[in-house]
């Protein structure tokens, strides 16, 4: 969520450690390249979980969809670009590569894999979550993140609801709620992160997901 200090970047370079900077705007991509990033992860607003914005205060206002962000970033920098946000099948991977990405990053598309080990109630809820069934809010941690629009999220973002506390105070305030919801299997009060392509996630092994999606992508690109 931002740039490393110059001295830390120098240590990374000295140890030949590659640095992939997550960016959500063209300006952030240019800044990351100038700072020495080896690649940028262009995170569209569709992505689940926390938004990787450099300025946390602008996380809700600087929301750019991946298909607009990706080609603009690819044109703006000279380092590899990795596409992220709303990609969960071969169509998305193929589209990302055609729009200038060197690779695609998938998050929510793996959540139903047994290796992810998320709560079954959360995994089941993903199958019934349309793109409009997710929302960006600060109600879990104090930082903007996309989750399923559960009862708790809707109540906490409703008109008249108290504003969330700053990060990480809000995370502490919701910790008991999140833990208890996990114990009783209540997805309506879990921290159920999800991108806008949540319903595309399948209950397959991670190996099978990777194989299927890449075979699909190659067929579209042939």
Q: pLDDT tens digits, residue range 18-48?
A: 999 999 999 999 999 999 999 999 999 999 9
In a domain, 147, yes or no: yes
In a domain, 74, yes or no: yes
In a domain, 1, yes or no: no
Provide the pLDDT confidence category of residue 120 given band limits of 50, 70 and 90. Answer: very high
- How high does pLDDT run on average in the chain? 98
Looking at residue 169, what is its pLDDT? 98
In a domain, 198, yes or no: yes
In a domain, 111, yes or no: yes
In a domain, 134, yes or no: yes
Positive/negative CA dihedral, 114, 116, 122, 126 = negative
In a domain, 43, yes or no: yes
Provide the pLDDT confidence category of residue 193 given band limits of 50, 70 and 90. Answer: very high
- CATH number for the domain harbouring residue 51: 3.20.20.70
CA dist 47 and 58 (Å) reads 16
CA dist 148 and 131 (Å) reads 9
| Domain enclosing residue 21, as ranges | 6-221
> Residue 36 in contact with residue 5, Cβ under 8 Å?
no
Looking at residue 1, what is its pLDDT? 87
In a domain, 45, yes or no: yes
Number of domains in the chain: 1
């Amino acid at each position: 969520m931002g740039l490393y200090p110059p001295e830390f970047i120098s240590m990374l370079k000295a140890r030949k450690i590659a640095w992939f900077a997550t960016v959500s705007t063209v300006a952030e991509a240019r800044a990351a390249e100038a700072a020495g990033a080896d690649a940028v992860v262009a995170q569209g607003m569709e992505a689940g979980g926390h938004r990787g914005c450099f300025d946390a205060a602008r996380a809700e206002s600087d929301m750019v969809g991946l298909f607009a962000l990706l080609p603009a970033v690819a044109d703006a920098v000279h380092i590899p670009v990795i596409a992220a946000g709303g990609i969960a099948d071969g169509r998305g991977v193929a589209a990302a590569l055609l729009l200038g990405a060197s690779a695609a990053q998938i998050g929510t598309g793996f959540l139903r894999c047994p290796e992810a080990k998320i709560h079954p109630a959360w995994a089941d809820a993903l199958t019934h979550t349309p793109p409009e069934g997710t929302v960006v809010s600060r109600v879990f941690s104090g930082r903007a993140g996309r989750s399923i629009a559960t009862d708790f999220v809707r109540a906490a973002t409703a008109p008249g609801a108290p504003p969330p506390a700053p990060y990480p105070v809000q995370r502490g305030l919701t910790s008991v709620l999140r833990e208890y919801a996990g114990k009783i299997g209540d997805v309506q009060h879990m921290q159920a992160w999800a991108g806008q392509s949540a319903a595309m996630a399948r209950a397959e092994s991670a190996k099978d997901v990777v194989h299927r999606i890449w075979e699909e992508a190659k067929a579209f690109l042939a």
